[in-house]
Structure 1
Amino acid sequence: MAFGLRTKSFGFIEGEAQFVDAFQLWNKIDGSDQWEKGTYYALCAAYTLVSFIALVQLVRIQMRVPEYGWTTQKVFHLMNIVVNGVRAVLFGLYKNVFAIRPKALEQVIMELPGLLFFSTYTLLVLFWAEIYHQARSEPAQKLRPAYFIINGFIYLIQICLWIYMSASKTATGLEAAKLFLSVISFFAALGFLVYGGRLFFLLRRFPIESRGRQKKLYEVGAVTSICCTCFLIRCAMLAFSAFDSDSDLDVLDHAILNLVYYLMVEIAPSALVLFILRKLPPRRVSDQYHPIR
């Protein structure tokens, strides 16, 4: 019995020691200038690659259907180019960006791509919502204006929060801005869950021999899962960092945390979604492929 107690005690101490060692290693890496430089340049390279992939896909679509204007698919890829390109520039010039004063201006520069990312991927929700309602012979004319109104309202609130941050000398404005981004990330995840789920189950009711049914099921299911997960992670991380200074994102001395965060919530999801949606549109336009007005 005594031997068993000693073994359990030793195991607990050993596990605790391993945790402490891992924590110390994390702090050592996070505080290294060499690791800091490598991490932010790696983020810059990753965003550049995703932006380039989106550009190639946009060019391929334009060459395939040059007779049509700015379709939803083209706008989605263009916005991916912009979001990932801006992120690449910010992380490529990370020392200058994180040295910007006042702090509120730095937050504006770092948070704006996050808002653009939200607009980019909720465009997919809009596209699926239109397909879903059209397939059920329901009116879908109000969905597009609603998308622009909601996004405009979100940008207006965020601008007000930025102004409050610049005027306030406390951390309240920064916490409020993070919590607001956390809330809109939650609703983005909810949008994917609602309309991605609805479209997925609608496709499942199609006859098995329907052309492209299985491919569309995989496409909608995979993109819904990826986007819902990445927005939920963003929601949780932003809410957590709003109240814990040790988990601050977009700060110079948290390079590894930034690497993990941006890989999970932007780089990996964007790369996976671009890969899944790599199929080119048919040469003859279909009812589901129409320009944005």
Structure 2
Amino acid sequence: MYEYTGETRMGPACLRSEIMVAESTEPGCYSKALVAVNIALALVDGVIAVLAFYQLIRIHSRNPQRGWTRQKVFHLMIGSSNTGYGLYFILTLVAACKNWICWSNSCGFVVMALPKILFLAAFLLLLSFWVDLCHQANDEDEDEGSPYEALVMKANKSNLKVNNSRRRCCNIRVFPVGSRQQVVILVTLFILLLMLTSAVLIWIGLGKNPIDSSVVARVYVDTFAVAMFLLGGALACYGYVLVSKMSKVRSERSSSEKWKVAGLAIVSVVCFTSSSMVAIFTNIPVLYHCDWRGVGGLYASLLLILYYFIGSSVPSAFVLWVMRELPPSVAVNVPEESRTLAFVSDYSPSTQPQHWTSITTAQNQTSRASPI
């Protein structure tokens, strides 16, 4: 915390943008506008988290014997991310009024960064599935027949042997992880390690040493913003490729899935670009580090809405809406399930559910692919 001497004093991170002081507040607390925005954002993220976990429970109750499907993983990650955002907004208000010294340094940084990492991991996972599908589809472009059928048959041939060997070795149903999904896990772990390293450096920088805590926080935030910007661009590119391929298939199901992919791509690039620009050119991501008495006004409130609501809440809610379909109920004496590759949802009305990272089909059956 910086000593208050009657005028606003901020560290270097808080000098990046000039956030106006609008109305007077209690000592150490946010302005009324920022308090209202933080509470509203906390409520929005809380509602999204509740819906995600509620839908996760419903999905699991439809077929408790199933392992972790792609649909379950996305709901878990979205729910956890929005829970973290909601806690961050509430704790930020409490810390401001209670003058928590730790919060303005490492503690606030960690609580701010963790939900964003989960959010990034969820959309990296989405990108990995789209990349898998595009590359597999490209290998079958010269084949005759439906591109979906070629894609499913190719995936069946390459994955059936691996899945059968895993079933023989393990009695516990554990989902297989594809090579690109392994890359997503490694990237997420690397970002988590980078965040923890930054938190340690921020804590060390509080003492008498050359390390500037605010600069460390800004470097991390800017790096993360660039990663989100690139992720939005990648989703837009692969989304365009998928939509182009799906346009060649004339069916009601394909048309529905095409619009879901297009919607996800558009929402991702617009929301991620806007939040990245706010992160790079303003202090909103490191607002916990600024002098609370010197922050307020409509300008800061609008930036908060743009960064958190548009940048995180809208994409999360859109993913939940796209994946709202429930799997079929458990049936008695059903043979080994048929699994299909999906673009947007794990399940279709005419197929059994599939694993979230593999495509296998039993009894020599193939079915249409769906985009997530």
What does 1:109-124 align with in structure 2 at a 5 Å threshold?
109-124=111-126
What does the per-residue CA deviation read over 1:230-286, in whole Å, with 9 as the maximum and x for residues that have no partner? 211222111112xxx599544553461323321111112222221232123456653
Q: 1:152-187: per-residue Cα shift (whole Å, max 9, x none)?
A: 222222322222222235232122111111121122
RMSD in angstroms over aligned alpha carbons? 2.8
Q: After TM superposition, give the deviation of residue 221 of structure 1 in Å.
A: 0.3
Q: Which has the higher contact order (CA 8 A, sep 6+)?
A: 2
2:293 is the counterpart of 1:240 = no
Give the C-alpha shift of residue 76 in structure 1: 0.6
Does 2:129 align with 1:127?
yes
Q: For residues 291 and 263 of structure 1, do their structure 2 counterparts lie closer, same or farther at Cα, with a shift above 3 Å needed?
A: closer
Matched, 1:258 2:311: no
| Deviations 1:196-248, CA, capped at 9 Å, x for gaps | 22222221122x1x35011000000001111122211222111112xxx5995
- CA distance in 2 between counterparts of 1:56 and 1:246 reads 31
Q: 2:237 aligns with which of 186, 191, 194?
A: 194
Which region of structure 1 is more displaced relative to structure 2, 43-52 or 251-260? 251-260
- Distance apart, 1:142 and its partner CA: 1.9
Match of 1:6 in 2: none
Among 258, 263, 276, the alignment partner of 1:222 is 263
Q: Structure 1 pair 88/62, CA: closer, same or farther in 2 (3 Å)? A: same
Structure 1, unpaired ranges of 5+: 1-25
CA contact (8 A) 1:165 1:174 kept: yes
- The offset of 1:114, in angstroms, is 1.0
CA contact (8 A) 1:190 1:228 kept: yes
- 1:99-135 Cα offsets, whole Å, 9 max, x none, are 4434133112112211111112222112222333344
State whether structure 2 residue 268 is matched by structure 1 residue 203: no
In the superposition, the TM-score normalised over structure 1's length comes to 0.79
Contact 2:279/2:285 (CA < 8 Å) preserved in 1? no
1: CA distance, partners of 2:62 / 2:284: 49
Measured in 1, the distance between the counterparts of 2:187 and 2:232 equals: 15
Q: Which amino acid aligns with 1:275?
A: W
Cross-structure match for 2:145? none
Total equivalences in the alignment: 263
Instruction: Pick the aligned partner of 1:107 from 101, 106, 109.
Output: 109
- Name the CA distance, whole Å, in 1 between partners of 2:307 and 2:24: 14
Q: Against the structure 1 CA distance between its residues 131 and 66, is the aligned structure 2 distance closer, same or farther, given a 3 Å change threshold? A: farther
What is the aligned partner in structure 2 of residue 41 from structure 1?
39
2:220 is paired with a residue whose SS is helix
Alignment of 1:52-131 (within 5 A): 52-98=50-96, 99-102=99-102, 103-131=105-133
CA contact (8 A) 2:228 2:273 kept: yes
Aligned match of 2:362: none
1:173–1:48 CA distance, 2 compared to 1 (3 A):
same
Report the AA paired with residue 339 of structure 2: S
Using a 3 Å threshold, how does the CA distance of structure 1 residues 196 and 36 change in structure 2: closer, same or farther? same
Question: What percentage of residue pairs aligned between the two structures are identical?
Answer: 24
Equivalent-residue separation in structure 2 for 1:66 and 1:30 (angstroms): 54
Give SS of 1:156's match.
helix
- Once structures 1 and 2 are overlaid, which stretch shifts more, 281-290 or 150-159? 281-290
Task: Mark the CA change 1:160 to 1:45 in structure 2 (over 3 Å): closer, same or farther.
Answer: same
Aligned-partner residue type, residue 323 of structure 2: L
Structure 2 gap ranges (5+):
1-19, 139-153, 160-177, 206-210, 330-336, 342-353, 359-372
Structure 1 CA distance for aligned equivalents of residues 221 and 69 of structure 2: 32
Could you tell me how far apart the structure 1 residues matched to 2:285 and 2:202 are?
A: 20
- One-letter identity of the residue aligned with 1:200: V
Match of 2:147 in 1: none
Q: Give the counterpart of 1:28 among 13, 22, 31.
A: 22
Q: Is the Cα–Cα contact under 8 Å of residues 229 and 276 in structure 2 kept in the other structure?
A: yes
The 8 Å contact of residues 201 and 216 in structure 2, kept in 1 or not, is answered as: yes
Residue 165 of structure 1 pairs with residue 167 of structure 2: no
Q: 1:59 to 1:131 in 2, by over 3 A?
A: farther
